[in-house]
Structure formats: C-alpha cells, structure tokens
Structure 1
Amino acid sequence: MKEKLKEKFQDDWPYLVIIIATYLMIQGQLNTRGFVLNIDTWFHYNRFYDISKQIRTGNYSYFQMNYGFSQSGRIINAFYGPLFAYIMGLLVLITGTWFRFQIVSYFLICLLGGSGMYILVKKVGANKLWSLILALLYINISPLQTWFDHTNLSGWGSAIAPFVFIEAVNMIRDKKRPIHWIGLMLGMTALLQTHLLSSLMVTLALIPFAITGFILTPQKKQMILNLTKAIVGTICLTANVWGALLTVSVKNKLATIRTHNLVSNMVEVSTSENIRDAILVGVVIIFLVQLLYVLFNWKKSILNDVVTLTGVFFLYISSSLFPWQLIQRIFPILRSYLQFPFRFLLIADILLILGIGISVSQINWKEKQPLYYGVLGCIAIVLVESCNLSYNRLWQAANNNYTPLYKIVSKKYYTTTSEYAQRKYIKYLQGVNSDSEAYGMKYYPKGYHYIKSFTSDSFFYRNTNDFWSLKQAVFTKKRKENLFNLVIKVNPDYLPVKNSKISYHQVNYAFEKEVIDQEDKFKKAPLKDGALKIQWIGKKEGQRQLPIVMYKQSQLVVNNKKVTPLHYSLIKSPTIFQKKGHNTAILKFIWPTSFKILFGVSIISWLGLIIYGIESVIRKFKEAKKE
C-alpha cells in the first residue's frame, strides 16, 4: 500500500505544486477576505446566479433569464457558453456564497490550465521539472489571469486551450494517425461550450498544424476521414450553442456589440504588468531567445518550427507592429467582434511556452551544464517576477478596486472645461479610493442612485452607498442575490431591438428606463414550465408598458389571453392593455421545432459519448485484469 502511495505521489506531485502555487497567489485575498468586484463580475455572476436558482427551484428555462438580469426575460446563457454556465451555476449552489465561489473558481481554473500546460509540455519530451516550471509560468502570464481580477471568460478559454494543442502536437508527431478525432472533438467542444471567441482563435492556430500533418502523413485519406469525424462530432455536441444563435439571430435584430478602437487595445511591452494588454520585458526576451534558437536550428524539429513560428505570428498580430489602424478601416466589423487584439496572446503564450519546452528537451544538458543553469535561472527570474505581480495585482483588485461602485463625494453640480464641456458633473469616488467625476446622477428610494459616467463601460449603474450590505451579499449564503439588487450593471448584450442601428448607449438608456426603473412596480415569479409571471395593480384601464423584453419567438399571455402587444419600445419592451385592479402576464419563449431537433441532437450525442466512455473504461479494466 505504501509503495502504491509512493508511486502515486511521484506521478502526481506536480499537480500538488500547482495547487500550492495557486494558494500562494491568492493568499493576500484570503487573509484580508477581499473580494473582486469588476465590471464583468456582475455580468457573469448574474448568469451563474440565474442557473443556480434554476437548479435549486427546478424552474428550468434554457432561453429566458427569469432570475438574473432584472428578471427581464432576455436571452444570454443560451448564447454564451451554456454548458459552462450550468457547471458554474452548480458550483455557486454548492459553495453557497460568492466569496467561496470566487476562491474555489481560482483553484479550479489554475488546476485546469496548469495541468493542461504541464501535460502538453511533458508530451513533447520535457522532464517533470521543466514541464512544471513552464506550467507555473503559463498560469501567471497568460490570459488565464483575466479571470482573477477582471472575471473575464477568456481566462477559462486559456485554461482549456492547452488540451486542444495536445491534439495539434499529434497532428505532426503521429504520422500514422495524425488526427485523434475524439480528443480533438472533446477539446473543441469544451471551448465552444465555454467561450466562442477562444474556440475561433484556437481553430485558426490549428491550421498550420493540420497542413503540416497532412504533408507529412502517408495516411492522408484516413486523416481527412478522422478530421471529418472530429468536425461532425463537434457540430453535433455543440448543436445547442450554434442552434440557439441561429434560432434567435435569424429572426431578431439584436443590440449592437460595443465597438472598440483596435489600435488602443494592442499588447504593449511592460516592466510592471503581465496581463491582458501588457507583456513583461522578461517574457519577451525568453520568447525572442526561443525564436532565435529555432531559426539557428531550423528543421531540427519540424514540430518546434511550426509551434514557434505560429506563436510568434500570433504575438505579432496582437502587438502594435501589426497594422491594426489599416485593418479596422478595411474591416470595421472587427471593432465589434474582435474588440481587443491583445486577445491573441491566448495562442502566443501557449505555443511559445510549448516551444521552450521542446527546445529544452532537445539539448544535451550534461554536456552544457553552465548553459542549463543559465537558462533555468533566467526563466526562474521571469517566473518569480510574474508570480509577484500576479499576487500584488489580485490583492489590489480584491481589496482596493471595486470598479463598478461609486460613492458620492459632493452632491453639488459643476461645469467642467474638459472635452465633455456643457455637461454638469458631480464628484464621486470610483471603487474605494480613486477620484473621478460623473454626470447625470439621480436618486431613488432606499439610498439607490444612478450615475451616468463617461469613464464606465456600461454608462448606467444603480449603486448603493451601503458597502456593509454589499459585503453581506458577498459573504452570506441567504443574501447573495442582493449583489444584483444593490448594484445593477446595464449590459446591452443580445437584447432585442427594433432597429439594428440603435447605438450601444441608447440601448443602455432604454433598458435602465424601461426595465430597471420599473422593478418596484411589478412582482415577478418564474414558473415550472420556464415561463415568467408578471403581476401588477392597474390604477385604471389603459395602456401599460411591461418591464420585460420580447423576442420574435416570445409568447405573451395577459389576463389569460394570448395577446400581440400594442407596440414595442426600442428594446422590444411590450405595451399592452391593462384592466383596473390586479393584472397578470405570462412571458414564455417558445422553442421552434428546428431548435428542438438540434437540442435533441446535442443531448443524444452527449449520451452516446458518455456510453462510449463507460464502455472504454470497462474494456480497459477487463484487459488490465487479464494481464
């Protein structure tokens, strides 16, 4: 028994180190019981909260958001990583509080991303020590870190992507069977069920590997067949994702995604940042050394050549060296759908770290011990610097920077001479301690107020001055829904609109005015069949706008009669005829037959995959028993 445990420890100790490294990274937050509240925190936690309530109550609704996002009936989770949302919703339910959920999610993302990178580097021949060092470097410099202080879902894309690149390595190394179609299918499915943009970038990065593998393999027909299997299998397993997008987007006009200047969001070299739009000088140096090694040892390893050059290409297009000013002029749509060129770091970091792993596995270190210690020392220095920056950044994010929160300093309005002249401003603190200014503040009952800020991404917020109540929402199991009652972030994502040319800010304003402002006048309750019940008291007969949104496939029943709204607002909030006294409306998204079929295909595909997996485990167990 002791020998088995010893063997198990010798095999698995790197994973334990990854867990310990994660603990050290978040120790500052644990000690102070700080909590990261960022702009994206409200968006994603709202999604997960909706799912957790569905699981807890049994009131499932695949399309409509009946608990989150002001119970407006809008659609988000069906488009945005639905399977991942259900997993996170279950985790919210299990952990109980937002603080515990946040901490557990940190451990999970680092264990997933670190393990994936460790396995990937080990696969190309690096020993355990090198594989572990490079895995630790990856979790500290890659976009995986965006989950920690930005609650950005590309972090989870970065955690899953290394597993997909295991199959990229097989494409070149395994000449008899370049496409391991089940592994490739599972990896791409996981990405598509989590973060669509990450899956698109990974798909682009796989192209050089597939072309090289096709040239090298004598089994070209088999490779094409297995690639087809992987593609078809992925399409079937993710039919619920692309099926939902097609179902809604074909028949509805959805709000315009906010545009960003690509030139302002490129990667820059930094001495103090290692995340999102910045890359450390030390990291750039080791990446350049890796490129030089490959160029001076050209064709020594075709895999290393493809890995490194592809990684350098993605690093190049993420940077200011790439002509993004020209590109966005030719393809303005990229300002909405790519938004940030620095996102390409997701690919660059994985491949260049993998390239370093290949290089260190090729060198005969016994003959070049001084070089060995020199290389190890340089990477260790970069790793220590990255770990220190990760620790400090997370500590600051958790304890000093509640960016979507505003605390009023002065209620007196004044006029500024800045570029925003002719507007009246009030002074406020953004987050905990940074001075700033805003305009358009207005008060509501219970201490709530709105601030319209040109510094904020979402233009309108409902805020509270009661930071203590907010902390209770974070640390108390029964009050976690208060996180969204005390502070409301307006997101235009996937909202239906009458006109696709309506601006981002117009959509925000309409949602704030027509949905959020009306919440106290209506009572909403989710139903078992996925519908949402809205109740209110009408003072007199006449027209009444409801604080919900409707899609083409939405059905509205008012006072037991199916109705067609008298008219719609800019964001498709319906106006109906109310009677005097008690009124009831039922909002339900009706699944088209086409989506029912696609959803069925996805479920059957997953069941088939699970059965296949169980059979494989049983078969291997029987074979091992015979031996």
Structure 2
Amino acid sequence: MKKYHYYIIILIIAGLFVLPQLWTHKMILGADAIFHYNRFYETAQQIKTGHFSYFISIFGFQQSGRITNAVYGPVFAYFQGVLVLLAGSWFHYQVLSNFLVYVIAGCSLFKLLTYAKLNQNTALFTSIIFMTTYSINYWVLNQGFTSWGTAILPLCLIPIVDLKNSRFPFIKMGVSMALMTQIHMLTAVMLGLIYLPFFISYAKHQWKRAIIDIFKAIFIYLCLSINVWISLIVIETSDQLKMPFVNAQMSEKAINLKGFYWLEYPGCLRLLLVIGLIICLVYWKAISTFTKQLLLLSGLFLLLSTSLIPWTWMVAHQIPFVSLIQFPFRFFAPFTVLYLFFFASIIHELRARKILSFVLIALSMLSIGQNLKNNQQELSLWESRSLVSKHTFVTSSEKAARQSFFSNDLGEALRTVQKSSPDYLPIYHGDANNKYVSYEEQILEQSPIFSKTIIDNHLELTWQAEKTGEIQLPVILYHYSKLISGTTEITPIKRSNIGLPTIQQKPGKNTIHLRYDPPSYMMFVFIFCTLSWFSLFLWCGYRFWQQKS
C-alpha cells in the first residue's frame, strides 16, 4: 500500500468520529468551551474586519479590553480564528476543529513512527489508538486545549529519532519548540524535558559539537517565538496578572484518583500497558537502548500524573511553578505519545511481531468502536445537560441559548452564554477577593447604557449622561492601556481591583477610546518574528524543490 493511502485511512476514521455529531446535529460544551470560543471569536473578527489588536480583546470577552491571546498561543489563536470564519457557526466550528484534531493526531504519530523506520501497518494501527485516547478527546469532550499540543507532539518528537541516529537536527528542534510555544506553552515545556535525556545521550561523546548545535537550535527557537517571550516580559514586568486558578487539592486530579478517566480512553489502554510491561520483563535484553529510553521516560511522565507525587503538599508549600500545572493528569498526555512510540517499537524489534501486530489491530478496532460510543453518549446529553454551572451564566432561556450556537451570528452565543474566567486580568491594590465574582459584578453585569464599537483598531465607548459625576467604565486597564477623549489622554480617578477605571463624565454624549500602546520596539519584534517564519517557509520550499529535482 502506498504511503498516502495510510493518510487517507486516517482521514476517513477522523470523519467517522465526527459523523455522529453531523448526524444528530448536537454539540458538546465542556468547561473550557466559552473561554476558548471567546479567544477565537476575537481573532476571527479581527481577521474579518481588518481591525487588529494583538494584546487586548476588542471583540470577545464582552469587549472588555482584557489580555488573553497575547499570553496564550497567539499565532495558533489566529489559525483557530480562520477555522471559525470558514465554519460560519459554532456548531460547524466544533465539527471542523474536532475533525482536524483527530487528523493532526493520527497523521502526526504516523509520520513519527514511519520516520523511525517502523512498519507502516504498525504505525497506522498505533496512530488509530492514539486518536481515541483522552489526550486527544480532551478537546472533543471538554474543549481542553492541551489536546492541540498533544496532537502535534509526535511530529515535534522527530528530532529524538535523529539524535538516536547520531545527528543533531538543530533546525527541526528549534522549529518544533517554537511551533509548540505558539500553540501551548505547558506542552512546549514538556517537549523540552523530553528532548533533554536524548540530547545528553547524543552529547556525551561529542560535547563541544553538541553545545554549538544546541545554541543554533536555541537561536532558531528564539527567532520564531520572540513575539511570545517579549510580549510576556512586557506584560509581566508592567502588570501583576491573575494567573489561572491555584488548585489547592491538586493531587485529587491525578489519574489514579479523580482523573482516572484518562485511563479509560480507550478502554484497552490499560491492557496495552500490561502487555507492554510484561514484554519488557521477558525481553528486556533484546530491546534496543532507544526503546528502553522511551519506556523509562514515559514511565516518568506516568509517575508525574499520579498522586504518588505529593502535589497538594507542594502547592501548600508554594514550590515554584507547581501551581501553574494545576492538574497532574496533564502529564499523561506526553506519556501517551511516548508509550505508544515504545509499544510500536517493540513490535518492530521482537520476533513475535505477527502476534503483537494482531493484538494491535484488534485493540485499534475496539478503540474505534468505543470512541464512537463515548462520543454518541456525550452528544445525547446536549438537550438535558444544563448550560448553567459555577461561574457560567445564561442570559436567555436554555433552549434559545442552545440554538444560538447554530446561528451565523458568532457573537450571539457568546452574549447568551457567558463565563467569568478571570485568567490574566490585572490585579490592583493587592486585592485578595475572588476574581471570578469581581468579573461577574463588574463586567458581566455591566450597565446597558454603554455602546461599544471598533474604530481604527481601537475600542470606542459611548453613553449618554444626564449630569456630571463619576462613572465606572466596563473595560479593563493594564499598564499600557490608554483612555482617550478626543486627543486627550484621561487619567482615571481610581481603578477597581481588576482594573476597571472610574472617570468623570459630562452631561450629554460621552465618547472614550480604549487602546493599548506597548513599547515602540514591539513593532520590530513582530516584524522580525514574521520575517523569521517567512524565511523558514522559503527554506522549506527550496529544500522540497531541491529534493524533487
């Protein structure tokens, strides 16, 4: 069978997985749906209208001027915005994005395994199992963005195959890290951790050359991700941000406790774990060093995803960076990729290949059936499951709210179903009050007297006042945010705990413009990053043309 036939099979299976949704015309709205849909509505409207605002939201998040995309996969957010525009409604976007995350996951792992010279049939059936894991279905069932980073992760692991073969692919490594940084920062950190032991194995006999090559990779990485890092530095050094919530009971979300469902997609995953471990015990000496490294590293990530690590204790004692992880089950995503790579490798290496291949085929078929069943079960709850939950509010009847996700007016659903996610809001006055409640009271319950429009990439607020007096504007100010009246910058009388300004209004019509003016060098940063990616594409095109010639 030709190689492209395998990719066609992956496309067909991905289509099969989204078929129940197309057939039933239902949706699955998980806990993170409204947050991410606001992010992508923002970029979609910027692309559609030509009014671009890299830092603050002028369309999504109640047009509040808050920062989100600039610190959360900025380039990939614009890619998602393109998908939203192509889809035309949130229902079609969900179908399209689910299809793509399945396709990317399957093709990405298939490419990795075939690049490692594994049997194509083995690579195909392993990739099918990967498509059905919760690491990928986290997006489908809960709109957890980790799945997008996990889907592309196998492609970014191609450099470790080159390292195994005593080649340092500094371009691939730099590009892979940059691409992951533009998608999902936590997965990028995990990718760097995966590279480390393979780099050490490569470098131990040629340190001087390895150090030079790693600096080349870092240089390429910084060129392609400089927009993310400089933006973070600008924002973090000028504002105190409300970071994603600290999970005080972090251990409860380990895979051996309340995060157990990560082990249930697919149901045969646990059987696959047992088979792999038994084979290791029996054939340990026959397994290559590289395959052993895959097993040990996957085992490390598996350990990190359990409560055997005292996560709750570390959060309580404020161990640096631990609180940013939030959920130990996130470590299960790289474990999934590494373990499946290991399992496919031992099938390739051992003489019992035919028996193991048969087991793999059977498990992949079972996985497809279970994935269809699970998706169908979740879709069946669309009409009965309430859209209202903690910090999520519906401004109309639930029936009308559900219908809004099928409307061509993309903003309707986000006005109807609102969530008070306070991530990346500025914190003023050292306030320790619940920021979810503050966002609800100050933004979601904002006065209807304000009209918001977009003028020349800026947010314009207008309202009518009967008399002079103080008024709080329903927008959020950061250090570099500016309020402009005519040609004059207005200094707020005071700011709320999350940055809403109070100003003096005048009788009659009031008009205020909100804009974000970062340091002037940011323009050069964006130009440099864009030219770096453009140069990369030109180089890839040249290499492709050269190989064809």
Work out whether the TM-score is over 0.5: yes
Aligned partner (choices 62, 65, 74) of residue 82 of structure 1: 74
Aligned to 1:268: 256
Aligned to 1:613: 540
Q: More strand by proportion, 1 or 2?
A: 1
Aligned to 1:283: 269
- Tell whether 2:345 aligns with 1:358: yes
Structure 2 residue matching 1:298: 3-state secondary structure: helix
Structure 2 residue matching 1:526: 3-state secondary structure: strand
Structure 2 residue matching 1:585: 3-state secondary structure: strand
Aligned partner (choices 397, 412, 415) of residue 465 of structure 1: 397
Q: CA deviation at 1:309?
A: 0.7
Structure 1 residue matching 2:132: 3-state secondary structure: helix
Alignment of 1:544-559 (within 5 A): 544-559=471-486
Alignment of 1:521-560 (within 5 A): 521-528=449-456, 530-560=457-487
Q: CA deviation at 1:281?
A: 6.4
Assess if the C-alpha contact under 8 Å between 1:37 and 1:398 holds in 2. Answer: no
Aligned partner (choices 341, 354, 369) of residue 388 of structure 1: 369
Deviations along 1:170-213, one digit per CA (max 9) or x if unpaired, are: 112x22x2x21221122111110011111111111221111112
Aligned to 1:515: 443
Q: CA deviation at 1:269?
A: 8.3
Structure 2 residue matching 1:39: 3-state secondary structure: coil
Residue identity opposite 1:461 in structure 2: F
Q: CA deviation at 1:256?
A: 4.0
Assess if the C-alpha contact under 8 Å between 2:177 and 2:221 holds in 1. Answer: yes
Q: CA deviation at 1:377?
A: 4.2
Separation in 2, partners of 1:209, 1:500? 44
Q: CA deviation at 1:246?
A: 1.1
Aligned partner (choices 199, 202, 209) of residue 222 of structure 1: 209
Deviates more, 1:610-619 or 1:104-113: 610-619
Residue identity opposite 2:56 in structure 1: Q
Aligned to 1:441: none
Residue identity opposite 2:517 in structure 1: I
Aligned partner (choices 414, 418, 425) of residue 484 of structure 1: 414
- Tell whether 2:91 aligns with 1:110: no
- Tell whether 2:223 aligns with 1:236: yes
Deviations along 1:350-396, one digit per CA (max 9) or x if unpaired, are: 1111111111111235xxxxx733x3343344334433332233223
Residues 328 and 384 of structure 1: CA distance in aligned 2, closer, same or farther (over 3 Å)? farther
Separation in 2, partners of 1:608, 1:372? 46
Residue identity opposite 1:186 in structure 2: V
Separation in 1, partners of 2:8, 2:448? 50
Residues 587 and 181 of structure 1: CA distance in aligned 2, closer, same or farther (over 3 Å)? same
Structure 1 residue matching 2:425: 3-state secondary structure: coil
Structure 1 residue matching 2:285: 3-state secondary structure: coil
Please provide the CA RMSD for this pair. 2.3
Separation in 2, partners of 1:347, 1:480? 34
- Tell whether 2:85 aligns with 1:55: no
Aligned partner (choices 588, 592, 605) of residue 519 of structure 2: 592
Residue identity opposite 2:213 in structure 1: N
Separation in 2, partners of 1:604, 1:341? 38
Separation in 1, partners of 2:263, 2:338? 18
Deviations along 1:213-245, one digit per CA (max 9) or x if unpaired, are: 213xx5543332222111111111111111111
- Tell whether 2:311 aligns with 1:324: yes
Residue identity opposite 1:475 in structure 2: F
Assess if the C-alpha contact under 8 Å between 2:393 and 2:419 holds in 1. Answer: yes
Assess if the C-alpha contact under 8 Å between 2:386 and 2:398 holds in 1. Answer: no
Aligned to 1:197: 186
Deviates more, 1:223-232 or 1:50-59: 223-232
Aligned to 2:502: 575
Residues 517 and 325 of structure 1: CA distance in aligned 2, closer, same or farther (over 3 Å)? closer
Q: CA deviation at 1:60?
A: 0.8
Aligned to 1:447: none
Q: CA deviation at 1:466?
A: 4.3
Assess if the C-alpha contact under 8 Å between 2:267 and 2:370 holds in 1. Answer: no
Deviations along 1:257-308, one digit per CA (max 9) or x if unpaired, are: 21212211001389xx985475666423322432343454237411101111
Q: CA deviation at 1:501?
A: 5.0
Separation in 2, partners of 1:146, 1:460? 20
Q: CA deviation at 1:318?
A: 0.7
Structure 2 residue matching 1:515: 3-state secondary structure: helix
Larger Rg: 1
Aligned to 1:97: 89
- Tell whether 2:406 aligns with 1:475: yes
Deviations along 1:86-115, one digit per CA (max 9) or x if unpaired, are: 011011112212122111112211111111
Aligned partner (choices 292, 300, 315) of residue 305 of structure 1: 292
Structure 1 residue matching 2:156: 3-state secondary structure: helix
Q: If the length of structure 1 is used for normalisation, what is the TM-score?
A: 0.82
Residues 510 and 482 of structure 1: CA distance in aligned 2, closer, same or farther (over 3 Å)? same
Aligned to 1:245: 232
Alignment of 1:291-440 (within 5 A): 291-295=277-281, 296-298=283-285, 300-332=287-319, 336-365=323-352, 372-373=354-355, 375-401=356-382, 431=386
Separation in 2, partners of 1:500, 1:185? 39
Separation in 1, partners of 2:328, 2:292? 24
Deviations along 1:519-577, one digit per CA (max 9) or x if unpaired, are: 5210001122x211000001110111100000000111135421110000111100001
Separation in 2, partners of 1:382, 1:161? 22
Residue identity opposite 1:230 in structure 2: A
Aligned to 1:212: 201
Deviations along 1:461-514, one digit per CA (max 9) or x if unpaired, are: 2442141x334422232x2211111111111010111045524xx212222222
Give the aligned length: 547
Aligned to 1:182: 171
Residue identity opposite 1:491 in structure 2: S
Residue identity opposite 2:401 in structure 1: L
Assess if the C-alpha contact under 8 Å between 2:64 and 2:476 holds in 1. Answer: yes
Structure 1 residue matching 2:26: 3-state secondary structure: coil
Assess if the C-alpha contact under 8 Å between 1:555 and 1:590 holds in 2. Answer: yes
Structure 2 residue matching 1:475: 3-state secondary structure: coil
Separation in 1, partners of 2:74, 2:454? 19
Residues 614 and 386 of structure 1: CA distance in aligned 2, closer, same or farther (over 3 Å)? closer
Deviates more, 1:273-282 or 1:607-616: 273-282
Q: If the length of structure 2 is used for normalisation, what is the TM-score?
A: 0.94
Structure 1 residue matching 2:464: 3-state secondary structure: strand
Aligned to 1:134: 126
Q: CA deviation at 1:325?
A: 4.1
Separation in 1, partners of 2:447, 2:139? 31
